[in-house]
Amino acid sequence: MNTKMPISSKSRPGPNLPDCSSRDPRTKLVDQMFSRWDKKDTPGCVIAIIKDGNIIYKRAYGMADLERDVALTTKSVFELGSMSKQFLAMCILLLIEEGKISLDDDIRKYIQEFPDYGYKITIKNLIYHTSGIRDYYELMSLAGMPVFNHYTAKQALDIIVRQKDLNFNPGDEHLYSNSGYFLLGIIVKRIVGELLGEYAQKNIFKPLNMDSTLYYDNFTRIVKNRAIGYFSKNDGGYGIGISLFDIVGDGGVLSTVEDLFRWDQNLFKNKLGRDPMKISQQYFTTGILNNGKELKYAFGLRIDTYKGFKLITHGGGWCGYQSQINHFPEHNFSIIYLSNLEDFEPMALINNITDIYLKSPLIIETQKAISHTSTKSKIVKFSETILKEKAGTYRNPQTGQIWRLLVKNKKLEVKTSYSSIFQMIPINNKEFQLLNASEDMQVIFFKSNKSKNKPKRLQIKIEGEEPNFYEYVLPISRSPLQLEEYTGNYYCNELESTYTIIIKNNKLVYLIKFLEESITLEPTFKDEFVDNDHVFRFTRNKNGLISGFNAWTDRIKPILFKKKLQLLN
């Protein structure tokens, strides 16, 4: 394996000079894409482009620390978020090889305090996100536990084992859940009798010379060259995204693009374990549901395609950080991206880099098609009036999730229930492409028979996934008098949390422990409301009176809150 890493022969008087031995015309295009972050007053990112076992371009854009005027470099250390899962998956494979664990083991063999739901939940279920276990991070969010607070692994485990039910029967569905990999981390610790970080250091990071990589399981630990995480503030400028989590497994790995280059190369020429080839084969094996459907998820990695190319990928985001690693094994080509800005949207940029370096016929034709239809639409078909006809509120009838489409600067834009904002470009008179989405996503509009102006519904297509349909709904307006019946105190014993729902400034809001400010509930449907992260559907008793509500997210199926008989003083 060639691990030679070209280093710039030039001195480095400026903060962000390119780390490359020679200038390639394509790198100018890459620099143009990241130019808005190549400044001294903004966070930014670091990228590494890898071809045939060498880093052909690596570059840092922006600042690592705005308070101390420290620039990002290719040695800057970032939190990887969910990209960490692939390292824990490798730990599991090494323990399987050692005979200390089996994919078919019941997790209650190692976590005796885990509830018995009447179904066997295996290590394999945790690996492939088919366990049905509710996502602990979103459980904590729903319980009103702020992400910036300090939490331990015990607190995360406690909220998981309090759950009375699963999202679905193990193996019936695939639903991404951080709980699975968090529990795998607990299992590793109990098997080997040492911290997950210690095991990974001895068995992965040290053998691969990943000297700047570690599990961050103690928030007081000092880490050299660490970039500070940031988020954009609504009133301009940036805030620091601080995490006090001591929780690892589903996340928690800190690394650099240079260390991740070594990891990237090992993925395809594995050196770990006694039988590296066998481990490598297992590592890329995807899961299978009970009904025989093959998944795209392997061991902490997603096996997918991008414009005809086989793609092995995973990303992450956490408290001011974004990360992504994309491998194209057929071309021995990879892109590593690390950012210290939470609201950075990496996928569109990474896809652009891929398009520049891997000029397949499909990529070229797609670019021509989008360019042609975009130009044509500006002249003929997509006036602001036509775009406004497509604008409005759309609701997924299965999940309750909301997409709000609006026209901004003569372009169509969508805001989701989770506050993600995507820009849309027309492909033809009913199809649009989402520019800055994390995946290749298209939206198709369908006309309504009842209305000449508004589409009846839209379809969201993601390459390789089942399509989702959203129906057009008229915004619901409720008077304070109509909102009054929803007020009261609601308690969930699984979360040990009480929501106090009141009317404030003629809107329904809720208060919950730890949160200083009230959260507004926007009506979307009969007895249904949303905030930025959750859906709330109120329930009624046989007399038609409000008796409680079910709350859920995309990773938690409905959890019941029961209305208390009287308000607390």
Q: What does the alpha-carbon distance between residue 511 and residue 521 come to, in Å, rounded to a whole number?
A: 11
Residues of the chain with CATH 2.40.128.50: 371-473, 480-563
Residues of the chain with CATH 3.40.710.10: 79-263+273-300
Strands (E) in 16-130, as ranges, are 45-51, 54-61, 63-65, 70-71, 78-79
* Tokens found for residue 179: 């709980």
Strands (E) in 278-320, as ranges, are 302-306, 309-318
> What are the start-end ranges of the H helices in 43-117?
85-97
Name the fold adopted by 79-263+273-300. Answer: Beta-lactamase (3.40.710)
Q: What is the pLDDT of residue 238?
A: 93
Q: What is the pLDDT of residue 451?
A: 57
* Whole-prediction pTM: 0.85
Q: pLDDT tens per residue, the chain (569 residues)?
A: 333 333 232 223 333 434 444 577 889 999 999 999 999 999 999 999 999 999 999 999 999 999 999 999 999 999 999 999 999 999 999 999 999 999 999 999 999 999 999 999 999 999 999 999 999 999 998 998 887 788 889 999 999 999 999 999 999 999 999 999 999 999 999 999 999 999 999 999 999 999 999 999 988 899 999 999 999 988 889 999 888 888 999 999 999 999 999 999 998 899 999 999 999 999 999 999 999 999 999 999 999 988 888 999 999 999 899 999 999 999 999 999 999 998 877 777 888 899 899 875 444 444 444 444 433 333 334 677 778 888 888 888 877 788 888 888 778 888 775 556 777 878 777 888 776 665 667 888 887 665 556 667 888 887 666 778 888 888 777 888 889 999 999 999 999 999 999 999 999 999 998 788 899 998 888 899 988 788 899 999 999 999 999 999 888 999 999 999 764 44
Q: What does the alpha-carbon distance between residue 5 and residue 3 come to, in Å, rounded to a whole number?
A: 6
Other CB atoms closer than 10 Å to residue 447's CB: what's the count? 13
CA pseudo-torsion sign 479, 481, 482, 485: positive
Q: CA-CA distances (angstroms) from residue 136 to 126, 320, 341? A: 13, 20, 24
Q: What is the CATH number of domain 480-563?
A: 2.40.128.50
Other CB atoms closer than 10 Å to residue 295's CB: what's the count? 15
Q: Tokens 């329904």 belong to which residue?
A: 508
Cβ atoms of 191 and 91 closer than 8 Å:
no
Cβ atoms of 50 and 196 closer than 8 Å:
no
**Pick among 2.40.128.50, 3.40.630.10, 2.60.40.10, 3.10.580.10: CATH of 371-473:** 2.40.128.50
Cβ atoms of 563 and 546 closer than 8 Å:
yes
Q: Starting at the earlier edge strand, list the strands of the sheet with 309-318.
A: 54-61, 45-51, 333-339, 321-328, 309-318, 302-306
Q: What does the alpha-carbon distance between residue 150 and residue 79 come to, in Å, rounded to a whole number?
A: 17
Q: What is the pLDDT of residue 419?
A: 56
